[in-house]
Structures are given as C-alpha cells and as structure tokens.
Amino acid sequence: HVQLVESGGGSVQAGGSLRLSCAHSGYPSSRHCMGWFRQAPGKAREGVAVVDSDGITIYADSVKGRFTVSKDNAKNNLYLQMSSLKPEDTAMYYCAAECRPLSYYGDRVPPPTDYNYWGQGTQVTVS
C-alpha cells in the first residue's frame, strides 16, 4: 500500500522561501521517479519537478532556477525547496510517485496524469 503525505506548506510573502516534504511508504525511492505537481484554483494541474532513481531532475520552465527537488532514500522523504516565490506559485502542491522512465519525457516534466500515486496535497500561498 503506497502512502504519500505532504507537509511544509503555508503562507509566505513574495520573494520568500518554503520547503515542502513528502513522507512516503510502500514505494521504494529506487524505483523510476518521484515528483511534484500543483494545481491553482480554476487551473489545470501542472507538473513542477521530478527526480528519478539516478538523481536526474527535470523542472518546469516556470520554476527553473528557483525550485530544487531532492530525496533522501534512507528516510523515504522527497523534498521541494522553493525560493524566490511569486504570487503565481500559489497552489495546492502534491507529491507524486511512479511515472515512466524520465527518458520518455525528454526535457519535460511528466504530466500529472502519468503518476500512479499521489498524496492529499499541501497548500502554498504567496502574497
């Protein structure tokens, strides 16, 4: 049984930083990929960042240079360090697991629909 639980969301002023965490169980980090996607009110879900078992990362253009995805396999945790936050980053952020091998996507993040597992989300509000 795969379980993903996000934490670390909150309210922050523009230019600030937040670090999201995702504690996962039932899904070995050594498998294909884990990542983050988000959904703002009234908008479609958007892939944000992904990391595979080799540590290869891909970011959406909208967050490149500002967000960093990482994982701690020993602790079964996935992280998203977010810096230089903008109001347009306001969204519910979801941790997700198991997509195709990243080579399938080229330099693009996987669409949220390609993940087989995801958590309940954590809200990030930037004002």
Question: pLDDT, tens digit, for every residue of 61-71?
Answer: 999 999 999 99
**Side-chain half-sphere exposure of 21, counting CA atoms within 13 A:** 8
Q: Which residues pair with 95 in a beta bridge?
A: 36
Q: 20-30: b or e for each residue (b if 16 or more CB lie within 10 Å)?
A: bbbebeebebe
pLDDT score, position 29: 59
pLDDT score, position 124: 98
pLDDT score, position 6: 98
* Percentage above 90 pLDDT, the chain: 84
Mean pLDDT computed over 46-57: 94
Question: If you compute the radius of gyration of the chain from its CA atoms, what whole number of angstroms results?
Answer: 13
pLDDT score, position 68: 98
